[in-house]
Every structure is written in C-alpha cells, then in structure tokens.
Structure 1
Amino acid sequence: MRVVVLAFSLALTACSGGEEQPQAAPGASRIECALGEGSDFGPDCLVEKVAGEQGPEFVVRHPGGQFRRFRIAENRSGMVAIDGADEAANELVGEPPVLQVTVGTDRYRFPADLDARR
C-alpha cells in the first residue's frame, strides 16, 4: 500500500489548481477533495503537516475555511479522523490506486508520502 500511495503522491505533486487559501500555512500541499453529498473531486483542499501530541497530524483546509484533522493509523493502513464524531473510512480507488478517505459526506484523496514531507 505504501508504494501505491507514494506513486499517487508523485502524480499529485505535479498537479496544481484553485486559489490559495489565506488560512493555510505557506507550503501547504494541494489535494483533491469532494465536499458534501454528490460533489465531484477537485484540487480544492490544502493539507498541512503539524506536530501533534501523538505524532504528526494533518490539517485539511476546505476552501470555505472549515478544516478536518487526521493522523496516520498506527498500523499504517490509512488515515484516522481525530476531530468530530464521524470515523474515517479508507479505501484504495482508481488506477493507479490512491488512498481515498471518507468522513461523513466529505471525501479526500491523500498522497502516500504525506508523512515524509517537511
């Protein structure tokens, strides 16, 4: 799975789009997200790696100012939501496969090397 996620992250790094979000820290990485039921994926979210009490955390910033926080699962099988009541569901999708994380009606596509950045 790490190889799949790494391959996706390399492809994702080459992509860019959307407007900069003023609430995101400089150097934040753009990821694809689909926010809300029935929405399509677009390169609209930014993710920042921050230090957390239990290790690295990832803050995903939505275009409207909302955000979600995630941590890589202990067994490295996917991402765990660390805020809110909804749990994260992880699955590999697409070709080449990428890690898609669903929390409530929001979906995110994370690059494999996210924890290796900065």
Structure 2
Amino acid sequence: MRHIDCALAGASDFTLDCTVEETQQNGRTVLVVAAPDGMFRRFEKVADGRGVIAADGVEESMAHWVSDRVLEVSVGQDRYRFPATLKPDTGPSDDATP
C-alpha cells in the first residue's frame, strides 16, 4: 500500500492522505483508493489512452496529466494524483501506467 495526494469533497488543496492498493480481479488490474474517513473508490487500469477509469459507481472519471509523471483523476468532487509514467512510444494524451 502506498500514499497518494488527494483533494476530497471539492477541496482546493491536495494532501497526502489517501492510500492506494493494486489488486488483480478477474484479469483486470484494479486500484483501490481509500480516504482517511474510510470511503474508498476503485479504479481500473486501462490501455486505451486514459490510464485509469472508475471501476464502479455511476460517476465517470476524467483524467489529465499535471506533469510528465503525475496523472490526475477526478470523480465527482474528488481528485486523486497517481504517480504514473508514459509508455516510451506515446505522448501525454496517450497511455499511462499508474
């Protein structure tokens, strides 16, 4: 388990308060992100250029690069910053590996 920056419930500032654990479920790589209050979200790693998507729930996730090594993912009012790397043959809008 590792810590990542998150800004929850519409907060403007990021804090290193969330944890993320990577698991395998039915052949998929799933990232389980837990907040300090016990709330959690699940994200699935995808290889279609988005990096990660929401793995459950009705809210869509949106991802964008905030630097060449950080992928920011938003779901509702919550934002998460995953350390990530671009595949060597892709550009910033292409595939990420969190």
**What's the TM-score once normalised by structure 2's chain length?**
0.79
Higher helix share: 1
- List gaps (5 residues or longer) in structure 2: 86-96
Of 60, 69, 72, 1:100 maps to 72
Higher strand share: 2
Deviation per CA, 1:83-108: give whole Å up to 9, x if none.
Answer: 111111000114x5520000000000
The number of residue pairs the alignment matches comes to 88
Aligned to 2:29: 56
Structure 1 runs (4+) deviating above 3 angstroms are: none
Ranked by relative contact order (alpha carbons within 8 Å, sequence separation 6 or more), the top structure is 1
Once the two structures are TM-superposed, the CA of residue 54 in structure 1 deviates from its matched residue by: 3.6
Consecutive unaligned residues in structure 1, runs of 5 or more? 1-27
1:82 equivalent in alignment to 2:33? no
Identity of aligned residues (%): 43
RMSD (CA atoms): 2.1
